[in-house]
Structure 1
Amino acid sequence: MDVGGQRDRGASAVEFALVVPLLFALVLGIMAFGQAYHVQSALSGAARDAVRIVALDQGDAPANARAAAIASASPSVALDPSHITIDPSCEGAGSSGRTATVTIRYQMNLLLFGDIGGPITLTGKGTMRCNG
């Protein structure tokens, strides 16, 4: 009977049991970072689309900019108009020297573990000179 071979198999099982949780945590961390990066990219793109509308002052610019940001971020991010801040508007005469800024703040839970570290706040920001 080979007693040494059975000990080796037992040691391998213990090593596997010690390494698997670390590998699982690493994979979950990579997935959470990838998700956060994707949402951050969507927020930045939505802010750029919204600030373009504000800077060119086409019609009802703030309302149109919010709608454009929500449409641009969808379906990656479920934005609400309260997440979007426009400062200042490019309305009126003499606004050609000013700069319009659209900031989108969004709280996101990391995967299924939002209760562990709490939600993180991601920000997308777009800036453009008024009137192009």
Structure 2
Amino acid sequence: MMGGGVMGSNRDKGAAAVEFAFVSLLLITLLFGILDGGRLFLIQSALSHAAREGAREMAIHNNRSGAEDVIRNYPGALGAVIMPSVTPSNCTEGNTVVAQAASTVRTLTGFNVPLTGEARMRCGG
């Protein structure tokens, strides 16, 4: 014959605690994954917008350092350090300028993820 009802309920409590530990670990991992994914998506979007604004600056004003400053100082990148790149250095009519905004973002879980935004724009006259 099994022990009394008290012994069985202690085992049930212990099993419930172990199950809760496994489920809560899974839910916390899922939560951090969702937060990291959303943050990376937002920064990727900001990098793409920064590259577009830099390409526009270069295409209109033919000012490479100004275009790189526009990319570097783009607001909304959540504190990501943006490394700009604009080619070619001289924007002549009919050519296409390529602007890139790159950053390496550290996730909440400790991984470094490289992100890049790129834009192309035809140079004006």
Please report the TM-score for the alignment, with normalisation by the length of structure 1.
0.79
Q: Which has the higher contact order (CA 8 A, sep 6+)?
A: 1
User: Alpha carbon RMSD of aligned pairs, Å?
Assistant: 2.1
Match of 2:115 among 106, 116, 122: 122
Unaligned runs of 5+ in 2: none
Is it true that 1:103 corresponds to 2:100 in the alignment?
yes
In structure 2, what is the equivalent of residue 26 of structure 1?
A: 30
Q: Deviations over 1:7-53 (max 9, x none)?
A: 32222112111211111111111111111111111111111111001
Please report the TM-score for the alignment, with normalisation by the length of structure 2.
0.83
Q: Distance in 2 between matches of 1:7 and 1:67?
A: 65
Q: Deviations over 1:48-82 (max 9, x none)?
A: 111001111x26x11111121122245523435xx
Unaligned runs of 5+ in 1: none
Percent identity over the alignment? 35
Amino acid paired to 1:71: N
Point out the structure with max Rg over C-alpha: 2
Aligned length: 121
In structure 1, what is the equivalent of residue 73 of structure 2?
A: 71
